[in-house]
Structure 1
Amino acid sequence: MNSLSTALPSTLSHGARAVERCDLLGRTPYSDMENGLYRAWLTPAHKAALGTLEGWMTDAGMAVRMDAMGNLVGRYEGTRPDLPPLMIASHIDSVRDAGFYDGPLGVMLGVECVAALHEAGRRLPFAIEVVAFGDEEGSRFPAAMLTSRAMAGTLDEAALDMADARGVTLAEAMATFGLDIARWREAKLARAPLAYLEAHIEQGPVLEAQGLALGTVTGIAAQLRYQITVLGKAGHAGTCAMGLRQDALTAASEMVLAVEEIARADASDLVATVGRMAVLPGAANVIPGETIFTLDVRSGDEVRRDRAAATILARIRELAGARGLGVGIEKIHNLPASPCAPDLMDLMDDGIAASGQQPFRLVSGAGHDAMIMEAICPTAMLFIRCRGGVSHNPAEHVEVADVEAAFTAMMRFIETLGAKHV
């Protein structure tokens, strides 16, 4: 990988530099769309971002490698080789027309923490590994968190048999990127981390409503995701009478409204979302014969989530049957609720207090790579306030002062954890 010239003024604070680097990665050549940010896994923009990030990691004193799934790993050695490393990580990919901070900010803060130690000539008992995961969003292929699952050793080989919307298979995409899909198992960590730390914008309004910059995450809500295919019959828009139609789109429209109705009626933390829809054959003068859409159901309570999902799917089948249409339901992924480690939450509370902020705890409704890593090691997450709770949107915004507070909290967390292993 070859990094571009991306030097920033040395007078910037660590928090300011983290934000500036996120802003830099929001522009060409780090995006695969014009007039906006879209950086999907295994794309030219992804490769460009990793090349620049490699330079930043190297400048911070890390030895850098790319693993078999395209995760970039920077390692800063500790003084005790017998200890497993502390992993600080988040993702480098984005949704389409994204904001600049969802994912990359956590990576940049990890780099800044190591840079601060390196500048001071300090080593902790354990090594620190800063990881930029390649695929958290699932914005290119029909599954998410593939690269963290590979690293944790929880990825099913069957999940690799997929293609993107253009028909490019995962094997082909990896080969173009310089990776060999046959070696995917080599991404699995040989040794579980001592702990996992992820900083992330909240992507919600809770911290802002509380007037707080930071929050300790208690856990991540359970998620279910499905792909629903509604099969009708395509026909001429001008000659097929309304009563004789088998319109897959109007049926899907009823289904989407049913999703909203059922989720609202639960009156809890439950949320359900249809975020993507494809209508085929997609011509203005043809009745839709096939409609494909996604269904995402989440709750902090797995029993509640599963009950609501079952109700929604039953209603979808009922609506399809009433119209004489076929329906296919494919489960894309099932992610259980992921609690953060109580002792690490205490350390994070202490770090937040050290930054001059009031400790506050909240649950994450959004999924993160932390929920994958929780299967192999204790995890901690730090949420950072974002303006209006807006995310997955170009209007995504963080204040430099909040990011500086996050840096201070993370440094206190790291140093306190290090003191426990002297």
Structure 2
Amino acid sequence: MTALDTPGGARAVARCDALAGAPYSDMEGGLFRAYLTRAHRAAVDRVAVWMEEAGMTARVDPAGNLVGTYAGTDPSAPALVIGSHLDSVRDAGPYDGSLGVMLGIECVAALHAQGRRLPFAIEVYGFGDEEGSRFPAAMLTSRAVAGTLDADLAAIVDGQGVSLAAALERFGGGPDAPGGNIAAYRDALRVPGRTLAYLEAHIEQGPVLEADGLAVGTVTGIAAQLRYALTVRGMAGHAGTTAMRLRRDALAGAAAMVLAAEQMARGDDSDVVATVGMIEALPGAANVIPGEVRFTLDVRSGSEKRRDRVAAAILERFREIAAARALELDAALIHDLASSPSDPALMDLMDEALVLAGQPVRRLVSGAGHDAMNMAALCPTVMLFIRCRHGISHNPAEHVGPADADIALRVMLGFIQRLGESLAA
């Protein structure tokens, strides 16, 4: 039997690998599965089959999320939701998001094989848009489910001029969806009070677990994020005729700012991280001094106060650099995401599940955003991190060992067991 035929963590990993190429990718020679594309539709259809084989009924909701339902013994009881995302960044690794969905399916498959039904239903979500790699907004689909979606859906357009409405219509719906109707998008909302808890398993996307020699760990929460768009304006000029002392070089000023952000975040000696991930120099000619530079600044921390303090200090330093170099600086806040702590009681159950699976208890914060941060508006949430080799993610070199995935599966099943026991107590 191949890994694809063998239930458990190895099958979850093998299924992620199977989804990493055609027809489940929008790019040649790599993985790029954007929201509401043909590759996304193909993945949804394939994963729906796996859900059905595991004993679930599968549907596509009005936002394009894939939802598998494993009924419980009490139809009136709120459901446990297990989820992650099926979309990816460009030139991605195969496990970010998808592994959490596959492990949710494996949890249900294990229960179904034993003929077990819990008092509550289990619903496995394959969210459609966590990465925001197609439209200029991320986590549209989990925000729709949680009821926190405040965007003007009719105004959302991708880089090729395709509207969200048109993309949804082309994508289509499932048996319970209104055929890709943008007017019904928010009907993906789960009825308040009908969700017991949300569990998300995800690769760590960092090196902590590997450095500690651990396969899995309990996530204490998702870090608060601030993101800015910055524009530095100077004076464009000829590279050969403008004396150095007379220059107002926007790129040189921006370079000083980038280094200042790094130095100040490191100097705080805390969990604060600051990243300049995009930079563009204009007019972009080899023989022209840049007159304008645009770049992003991303600042994160487990503490909103610490994040805000360091971000304010960085921006003030940027202003000082701009003034010293006779440059203009504009800073626009793109988004402000609050920290999302995991539920204390659910973290305790996860720690107990770690012990049941023979694993040491380890807690760590998530610096990356996840669908769990939106689902926290709907119900208590908890996450389980899984070791990834060298902490590499958003990269084709992303790797998770089948043995680690199997440990994660055992922990998740233990968590489900302890959750059921806690409700019966």
Q: Does the TM-score normalized on the shorter chain lie above 0.5? A: yes
Aligned to 1:263: 265
Aligned to 2:218: 216
- The verdict on how the C-alpha distance between 1:66 and 1:245 changes in structure 2, with shifts beyond 3 A counting, is farther
Structure-2 separation of matches of 1:163 and 1:36: 25
Pick which of 316-325 and 372-381 moved more.
316-325
Aligned to 1:83: 77
- How far does residue 37 in structure 1 lie from its aligned partner after superposition? 1.8
Structure-1 separation of matches of 2:36 and 2:282: 27
- The verdict on how the C-alpha distance between 1:404 and 1:320 changes in structure 2, with shifts beyond 3 A counting, is same
Query: 1:125–1:421: 8 Å Cα contact kept in structure 2?
Result: no
1:229-308 → structure 2 map (5 Å cutoff): 229-232=231-234, 246-308=248-310
Work out which of the residue numbers 399, 416, 425 in structure 2 matches 1:414.
Answer: 416
Structure-2 separation of matches of 1:67 and 1:44: 17
Structure-2 separation of matches of 1:319 and 1:385: 40
Aligned residue for 1:157, secondary structure, equals coil
Structure-1 separation of matches of 2:81 and 2:17: 24
Structure-1 separation of matches of 2:235 and 2:166: 33
- How far does residue 40 in structure 1 lie from its aligned partner after superposition? 2.3
Structure-1 separation of matches of 2:32 and 2:235: 34
Query: Does 1:107 pair with 2:90?
Result: no
Question: For residues 183-226 of structure 1, what are the alpha-carbon distances to aligned partners after superposition, in whole Å with 9 as ceiling and x for unaligned?
Answer: 33212212341000011111122212222111111112111122
Work out which of the residue numbers 34, 39, 45 in structure 2 matches 1:40.
Answer: 34
Aligned to 1:189: 190
Structure-2 separation of matches of 1:278 and 1:15: 43
Aligned to 1:51: 45
Aligned to 1:352: 354
Structure-2 separation of matches of 1:42 and 1:314: 41
Query: 1:143–1:333: 8 Å Cα contact kept in structure 2?
Result: no
Aligned to 1:20: 14
Query: 2:3–2:10: 8 Å Cα contact kept in structure 1?
Result: no
Structure-1 separation of matches of 2:60 and 2:341: 29
Work out which of the residue numbers 187, 206, 210 in structure 2 matches 1:204.
Answer: 206
Work out which of the residue numbers 316, 319, 325 in structure 2 matches 1:317.
Answer: 319
Question: For residues 256-301 of structure 1, what are the alpha-carbon distances to aligned partners after superposition, in whole Å with 9 as ceiling and x for unaligned?
Answer: 1121121111111100111123344444455444433221111111
Structure-2 separation of matches of 1:175 and 1:243: 58
Question: For residues 151-191 of structure 1, what are the alpha-carbon distances to aligned partners after superposition, in whole Å with 9 as ceiling and x for unaligned?
Answer: 11112124874444444444444344343433332122123
Aligned residue for 2:336, secondary structure, equals strand
- The verdict on how the C-alpha distance between 1:55 and 1:278 changes in structure 2, with shifts beyond 3 A counting, is farther
Query: Does 1:177 pair with 2:171?
Result: yes
- How far does residue 106 in structure 1 lie from its aligned partner after superposition? 0.5
Q: In structure 2, give the amino acid aligned to 1:332.
A: I
Q: In structure 1, give the amino acid aligned to 2:130.
A: E
| TM-score using structure 1 length | 0.90
- How far does residue 100 in structure 1 lie from its aligned partner after superposition? 1.3
Q: In structure 2, give the amino acid aligned to 1:341.
A: D
Work out which of the residue numbers 65, 74, 89 in structure 1 matches 2:68.
Answer: 74
Pick which of 40-49 and 155-164 moved more.
155-164
Q: In structure 1, give the amino acid aligned to 2:336.
A: N
Query: 2:219–2:342: 8 Å Cα contact kept in structure 1?
Result: yes
- The verdict on how the C-alpha distance between 1:30 and 1:96 changes in structure 2, with shifts beyond 3 A counting, is same
| TM-score using structure 2 length | 0.90
- How far does residue 365 in structure 1 lie from its aligned partner after superposition? 1.8
Q: In structure 1, give the amino acid aligned to 2:358.
A: G
- How far does residue 35 in structure 1 lie from its aligned partner after superposition? 2.4
1:109-128 → structure 2 map (5 Å cutoff): 109-128=103-122
Structure-1 separation of matches of 2:37 and 2:328: 35
Question: For residues 119-172 of structure 1, what are the alpha-carbon distances to aligned partners after superposition, in whole Å with 9 as ceiling and x for unaligned?
Answer: 222211111110111222222333322221121111212487444444444444
Structure-1 separation of matches of 2:108 and 2:282: 50
Query: 2:65–2:125: 8 Å Cα contact kept in structure 1?
Result: yes
Query: 1:224–1:333: 8 Å Cα contact kept in structure 2?
Result: yes
Unaligned runs of 5+ in 1: 1-6
Query: Does 1:386 pair with 2:407?
Result: no
Query: 1:370–1:381: 8 Å Cα contact kept in structure 2?
Result: yes
- The verdict on how the C-alpha distance between 1:40 and 1:11 changes in structure 2, with shifts beyond 3 A counting, is closer
Structure-2 separation of matches of 1:162 and 1:323: 38
- How far does residue 76 in structure 1 lie from its aligned partner after superposition? 1.2
Pick which of 277-286 and 390-399 moved more.
277-286
- The verdict on how the C-alpha distance between 1:315 and 1:402 changes in structure 2, with shifts beyond 3 A counting, is same
Residue-pair matches, total: 416
Unaligned runs of 5+ in 2: 173-179
Query: Does 1:130 pair with 2:124?
Result: yes
